[in-house]
Each structure stands twice: as C-alpha cells, then as structure tokens.
Amino acid sequence: MSAAADSLPVVAVRRIGAMTLFLLQVLARIGPALLRPGLIVRQIYNAGARSLVIIMLSGMFVGMVLGLLGFDVFQRFGSEDYVGVLAALGNLKVLGPVLTALLFAGRAGTSLTSEIGLMKSTEQLTAMQMMAVDPVRYVVVPRFLGGFIAMPLLAATFTVIALYGAQLIGVQQMGVDAGAYWSQTQNAVDLHDVWEGVVKSLVFGVAVSLVAVYEGYHADPTPEGVGLATTRTVVISSVLVLLLNYLLTAVFLTTK
C-alpha cells in the first residue's frame, strides 16, 4: 500500500466511514435489543451509576472554581451579582456537557472498550457467533444505549452540582447577596441555553459511546491491541467532543 493511502487524512476519513457504518449497524439492531431491557439497564448502571462519584466531585470543584474566578473578576467592576450568571451559562452551555463527556470517556468509555476488547480476545464474541447469536445486538447495542442514556443524566448531575458549588463560594463564602445572585441568573438564562446543554450532552453521549464500542469491537485480540484501543477511545472521543462542542456552539449562536 502506498504512503498516501496511509496518510493521516486518509486514515481519518476511512475511520469515520467505518464508524458511520458501525453506527448504522448498531441503530438497525436497537429495536430487537429493546426486547431485553435488563441488559440495557445493567449497562446504564455500569456506565452511569459507577461514574457518579467522579462526576459529582468534579462538578463541585468546577463550580467552586467558577465561583472564585467569577467573584474575583466581577468585583473589580462592582458586579459580583453576575457570578451566578457566569456559573449558570458556563456550566449549562459548555462546561457541564463537555467536562462530563471527557470524564465519561476516561471512566466509562475506557471500561467499555477494554471490556469488549477482552471479550474479543478471549473468543467470547466468536463463541456468541458460533451459538448463532449476534454479538453486536447482545454486547454492543446494550452498552451503546447504556452510555447514550447515562451521559445526559450525568451531564445534568454535573451541572446541578457545579451550580451549587458556585453558589457555595459566591454566596456562602464571598457574601454575594443570594437574592441578587439568583435573580440575575434567572434573568440571564433562558430555555434556549438549557436546550443547548441538553442537545450537546445527547450528541456527546452518542459520540463517546460509539467510539468506545467501536474501538472495543475492532480491537486487535491481543493485550497490546486492547491497550491501544483503550487509548484510542480516550484520544478520539476527547478530540471529537471538543470539535463537536465548537460546531454545536456555533450552530446555537446562529439560531438564537
């Protein structure tokens, strides 16, 4: 194969094409997979409930930092009341979905990839095929759906905890008036901002879950192959989340 065929853009386009085809395969099997909701619920627990602690802790610290920074900047202009606006818009529109997706990729995405990769390397997926059972339907789809459903719920949790963290610093510690804090926040935030966060978290949920299950399913069935696939999950989904975040932000700004 020529060097041009192995160049980064060609490899990237090929991978995007392969992932799109894989997504279509997954989507085509969602109907039959819904007949066994127990498998999906278990994956929501694995991807979602088990990521709760890291998401809540991170949300709290991010909110607290926003409270500190916001207070430091706004007090120079005598507008400390706007700390809540910064925290609310920053978290709802960007930090909540983006940081949750990045943490989700590191916590649940790697777990999905390595689990499916190890199932492949120990011939469990081949054994399923030999039992005339489709591994995409039984292994991939429940994990994809589990991640897709868990991600927005985690992003919502992150955002709520971050808002509380910002309030904790801004109002409780720095002494901003609670009434002014919340009324400014209420005036500045509208439904469009909430929708932006919801849509982003849904899109990131699809992106991270798809990358994780794709990389696991296509990992080389060796210890090294599974390790590389896990690394690729973090790298690809992180870059993808940041790229999609930029595109979605631009779209929401133009449609406001």
- Output the smallest distance, CB 229 to another protein, in A: 18
Asked if 208 is part of the footprint of another protein (rule: CB under 8 A), the reply reads no
Q: Is residue 126 within the footprint of another protein (CB under 8 A)?
A: yes
Distance separating alpha carbons of residues 98 and 145, to the nearest angstrom? 19
Q: Is 131 in the site for another protein (CB under 8 A)?
A: yes
Q: Name which of 119 and 248 has its Cβ closer to another protein.
A: 119
Neighbouring residues of 153: CB distance < 8 A, sequence distance ≥ 6: 48
| 177 near another protein, rule: CB under 8 A | no
| Burial environment of residue 91 by CB neighbours within 10 A (0 to 12, 13 to 18, 19 or more) | buried
In this structure, which amino acid lies at residue 165? Answer: G
Rounded to a whole number of angstroms, the minimum distance from the CB of residue 146 to another protein is: 13
* Residue 75 within binding range of another protein, rule CB under 8 A: no
Return the number of the residue (22 or 138) whose C-beta is nearest another protein: 138
In one letter, which amino acid is 176?
Answer: V
Instruction: Pick from 71, 138, 158, 181 the residue near another protein by CB under 8 A.
Output: 138
Q: How far is CA 243 from CA 16, 19, 105, 125, 239, in A?
A: 14, 17, 15, 33, 6
What single-letter amino acid sits at 245? N
Cβ 40 to another protein shortest distance, Å: 14
Q: Give 3-state DSSP helix, strand, coil % of the chain, rounded to 5.
A: 90, 0, 10
Question: Segment contacting another protein (CB under 8 A): 126-134, 174-182, 201-209, 242-250?
Answer: 126-134
The answer to whether 123 contacts another protein (rule: CB under 8 A) is yes
Residues 96-115 that bind another protein (CB under 8 A): none
Pick left, alpha or beta for residue 133 (phi over 0 → left; psi -120 to 50 → alpha; otherwise beta): beta
State in angstroms the smallest separation of the CB of 19 from another protein. 22
Q: Is 127 in the site for another protein (CB under 8 A)?
A: yes
Binding site for another protein (CB under 8 A): 118-119, 122-124, 126-133, 138
